[in-house]
Amino acid sequence: MREKPDAFAEAMAGAAQAALRGQGTAQVVSAAVTPLTQRARDNRERLEGRGRRRWKD
């Protein structure tokens, strides 16, 4: 959960910079989505390293 606020702040900053540079909609969306995608990928890889979680009854 700790990485989410940082990822969203980074995404918002990237989108704002792209918009201020006058880039098109696709570039603005890409600038916003890229940090979120990277953080999600990093998190998924980190969690996969733990192995499957087994619940006890």
Task: Answer yes or no: is 18 within a domain.
Answer: yes
Range of the domain at 30: 3-48
Average pLDDT over residues 7-24: 96
pTM of this prediction exceeds 0.75? no
Task: Answer yes or no: is 55 within a domain.
Answer: no
CA distance 12 to 28: 10
Task: Answer yes or no: is 32 within a domain.
Answer: yes
User: In the prediction, which pLDDT does 33 show?
Assistant: 96
Task: Answer yes or no: is 57 within a domain.
Answer: no
Task: Answer yes or no: is 14 within a domain.
Answer: yes
Task: Answer yes or no: is 27 within a domain.
Answer: yes
Reported as a single tens digit per residue, the pLDDT across 17-38 is 999 999 999 999 999 999 999 9
Task: Answer yes or no: is 54 within a domain.
Answer: no
pLDDT reading at 1 higher than 90:
no
User: In the prediction, which pLDDT does 57 show?
Assistant: 58
Task: Answer yes or no: is 53 within a domain.
Answer: no
Average pLDDT over residues 38-54: 83
The domain tally of the chain equals 1
